[in-house]
């Protein structure tokens, strides 16, 4: 039997009118009792199981109402996981679901790993033996998806900053470990004062990151869109038009390549995250600027590709390559420059891409821009394109780890202030370093020891 209590969002994000946060484990009911204020009841045990009850989720720290909800609990062993399960039905949409998930985490649950509910159901005998293979597949498939998601997000500056903080923590750890393992060397190891200084600085950085997890430029949710086309087909005009009219927020995305920026724009209520390469403006060519492999990678991660062709010229070899790249992708094709002569017809494209939406546009006259916006709207609300990134979950996961990192670092600083022995300081510091590693996906390895030998001249 697993000991800890897990939680996850059980509904697809942002689509439905209702969002469900599910909690499973020994402490499920206890946790919800802490954060749920029923209209008629104080504790879930006052009502029958499997009956919905109405009330509010409150944040116990501030005593403020978060959302009105319907809650139901199910006692073990007759549940999906065979553990106690509570489901909180709240308003759909990103904010309430996210906030409730956070509060559940803050009150003692742990974020479920991909496929973990099902894994528990199987391990606890709830799922038939015949399904074992399917369970294993599910775990790896879900992990792959979430891995993609976190990779996607790691282009953001969050990753860069977290990596920097980890690097500094690693430096502190190396000092401590080197002074412990090589006490007789005349290296200048960190003093309590220096540790305190670095620790406090990292602490305020973690706080700053926590403040910006949602509000800042770091992790916005949106339909991940790539604009593609050979040079001079009008990509930059398109971009400028959309962005200017819709007040875009431009964010640098270092971390991977300095050439990529993200532009957030809301068109008719649809959040778009346009993955732009600085190249679109400068060299006007994504592929030339960042290379074919990188472009392919960007395209494969995109929720939507907008491809621009110049109708005043015949399709070239480059165009054909682009067509090849977007096969099997959700795409909109713009036949641009209709104000000039028309050398390409819809049919020329449909030959290769039968299911794609094709729009005639002119960025000079403005023809087609509103059609593009309507098409986007249709595709989004019909569910044809979806925000693949489960950003909410990754966001909450990151926040959870940042909070844990903060707590551990605060313990470490406390130990430093009391001048407790280094081996105690190290414990909390290392935990903090590992919490941050959960965000960037860096696992523990020989890191600290490598760092010691890199930084210090030690050994007999």
Partner 1 sequence: MGHSATYHAGNYDVIVVGAGHAGCEAALAPARMGLKTLMLTMSLDSVALMPCNPAIGGTGKGHLVREIDALGGEMGKNTDKSFIQSRMLNTSKGPAVHSLRAQADKKDYSSEMKSVLENEKNVTLKQGEVVDIIIENGKAIAVVTRTGARFNGEAIIVCTGTYLKGKIYIGEVNYFGGPNGLEPSMYLTEHLEEQGFEFRRFKTGTPARIHEDSVNYSKMEIQPGDDEIVPFSFLNDRLEKKQVPCYLTYTTLETHKIIMDNLDRSPLYAGQMESTGPRYCPSIEDKVVRFSDKNKHQIFIEPEGLGTKEMYVQGMSTSLPAEIQLKMYRTMIGLENVEIMREAYAIEYDCIDPTRLKRSLEYKDVENLFFAGQVNGSSGYEEAAAQGIVAGINAVLKIKGENSLILDRSQAYIGVLIDDLVTKGTNEPYRMMTSRAEYRLTLRQDNADLRLTEIGYKVGLASEERYQKMLSKKAAIESELTRLSDIKITPTEKANNILHRLGSSPMKKPVTLYDLIKRPELSYDDIAEIDNNRPELNKEVRIQVNTQIKYEGYIKKQMKQIDQFKKLEGKKLSKDIDYSKIKGLRLEARQKLNKLKPESVGQASRISGVSPSDINVLLVYLEQQRRIADRSENID
Count interface residues toward partner 1 (CB under 8 A).
43
Q: Which two tokens stand for residue 364?
A: 């000079």
Residue range at the interface with partner 1 (CB under 8 A); choices 118-126, 150-158, 163-171, 200-208: 118-126
Q: What is d(CA 107, CA 170) in angstroms, rounded to the nearest whole number?
A: 30
Specify the 3-state DSSP secondary structure of 120. helix
Q: Give the HSE-up count for residue 257: Cα atoms under 13 Å, Cβ half-sphere.
A: 15
Using CA atoms, how far residue 399 sits from 5, 96, 254, in Å, is 18, 16, 21
For partner 1, the binding residues in 390-419 under the rule CB under 8 A are 418-419
Q: How far is the CB of 440 from partner 1 (least distance, A)?
A: 15
Sign of the dihedral through C-alpha 75, 76, 82, 84: positive
Residue 449 binds to partner 1 (criterion: CB under 8 A): yes
- Distance CA(391)–CA(271), nearest Å, equals 13
Q: Which of 219, 214, 263, 222 is nearest to 242 (CA)?
A: 263
Sequence length of the chain is 460
For partner 1, which stretch binds (CB under 8 A), given 241-249, 270-278, 299-307, 442-450? Answer: 442-450
* Minimum gap (Å) between residue 123 Cβ and partner 1: 5
CA distances (Å), origin 219, targets 51, 82, 234, 333, 393 = 37, 36, 29, 28, 11
Looking at the Cβ atoms of 292 and 449, the one nearer to partner 1 is 449
Binding status of residue 114 toward partner 1 by CB under 8 A? yes
Query: In this complex, which beta carbon is closest to partner 1, that of residue 285 or of residue 434?
Result: 434
How far CA 135 is from CA of 110, 122, 144, 228, 320, in Å, comes to 21, 8, 14, 39, 41
Interactions with partner 1, residue window 329-368 (CB under 8 A): none
Among 37, 91, 185, 281, binds partner 1 (CB under 8 A): 185
End-to-end, the C-alpha distance of the chain in Å comes to 49
- Calculate helix-pair angle for 94-106, 391-417, nearest 10 degrees: 30
For residue 24, state whether it binds partner 1 (rule: CB under 8 A): no
* Among positions 122, 309, 380, 433, the unique one binding partner 1 when judged by CB under 8 A: 122
Closest distance between partner 1 and the C-beta of residue 178, in Å? 9
DSSP string covering 187-226: --PPPHHHHHHHHHHHHHHHHHHHHHHHHSSSS---EEEE
Residue 381 binds partner 1, judged by CB under 8 A: no
Q: Based on the shown chain and the rule CB under 8 A, indicate whether residue 188 belongs to the binding site for partner 1.
A: no
The footprint of partner 1 on residues 140-169 (CB under 8 A) is 140, 143
The span from the CA of 377 to the CA of 383, in Å, is 10
User: Interface with partner 1 includes 445 (CB under 8 A)?
Assistant: yes
Which of 15, 48, 137, 350 binds partner 1 (CB under 8 A)? It is 137
CB of 129 to partner 1, least distance (A): 5
With CB under 8 A as the contact rule, the residue among 56, 80, 182, 192 that binds partner 1 is 182
The answer to whether residue 83 forms part of the interface with partner 1 (CB under 8 A) is no
**Chain contacts with partner 1 (rule: CB under 8 A):** 113-116, 119, 122-123, 129, 132-133, 135-137, 139-140, 143, 177, 179-186, 418-424, 426-427, 445, 448-449, 452-453, 457-460
């Amino acid at each position: 039997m697993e000991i800890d209590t897990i939680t996850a969002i059980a509904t697809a994000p942002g689509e439905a009118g209702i969002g469900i946060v599910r909690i499973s484990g020994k402490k499920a009911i206890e946790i919800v009792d802490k954060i749920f204020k029923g209209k008629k009841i104080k504790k879930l045990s006052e009502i029958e199981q499997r009956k919905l009850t109405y009330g509010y989720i409150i944040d116990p720290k501030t005593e403020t109402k978060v959302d009105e909800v319907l809650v139901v609990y199910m006692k073990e062993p007759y549940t999906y996981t065979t553990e106690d399960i509570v489901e909180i039905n709240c308003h759909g949409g990103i904010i309430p679901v996210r906030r409730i998930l956070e509060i559940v985490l803050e009150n003692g649950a742990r974020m479920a790993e991909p496929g973990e509910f099902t894994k528990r159901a199987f391990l606890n005998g709830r799922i038939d033996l015949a399904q074992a293979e399917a369970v294993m597949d599910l775990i790896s498939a879900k992990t792959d998806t979430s891995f993609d998601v976190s990779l996607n997000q790691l282009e953001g500056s969050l990753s860069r900053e977290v990596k920097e903080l980890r690097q500094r923590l690693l430096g502190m750890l190396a000092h401590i470990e080197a002074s412990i393992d090589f006490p007789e060397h005349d290296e200048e190891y960190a003093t309590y004062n220096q540790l305190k200084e670095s620790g406090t600085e990292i602490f305020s950085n973690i706080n700053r990151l926590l403040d910006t997890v949602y509000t800042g430029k770091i992790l916005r949710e949106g339909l991940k869109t790539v604009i593609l086309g050979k040079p001079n087909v009008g990509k930059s005009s398109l971009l400028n038009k959309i962005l200017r009219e819709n007040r875009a927020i431009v964010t640098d995305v270092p971390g991977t390549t300095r050439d990529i920026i993200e532009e957030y724009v809301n068109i008719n209520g649809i959040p778009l995250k346009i993955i732009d390469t600085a190249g679109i403006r400068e060299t006007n060519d994504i592929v030339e600027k960042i290379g074919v492999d990188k472009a392919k990678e960007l395209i494969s991660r995109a929720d939507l590709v907008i491809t621009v062709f110049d109708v005043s010229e015949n399709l070239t070899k480059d165009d054909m390559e682009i067509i090849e790249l977007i096969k099997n992708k959700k795409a909109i094709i713009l036949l641009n420059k209709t104000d000039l002569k028309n050398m390409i017809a819809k049919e020329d494209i449909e030959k290769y891409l039968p299911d794609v939406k094709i729009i005639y546009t002119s960025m000079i006259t403005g023809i087609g821009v509103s059609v593009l916006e309507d098409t986007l709207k249709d595709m989004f609300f019909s569910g044809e394109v979806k925000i693949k990134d489960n950003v909410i979950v990754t966001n909450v996961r990151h926040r959870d780890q940042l909070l844990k990192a903060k707590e551990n670092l605060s313990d470490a600083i406390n130990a430093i202030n009391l001048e407790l022995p280094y081996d105690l300081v190290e414990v909390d510091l290392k935990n903090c370093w590992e919490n941050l590693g959960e965000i960037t996906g860096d696992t523990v390895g020989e890191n600290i020891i490598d760092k010691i030998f890199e930084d210090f001249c030690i050994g007999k």
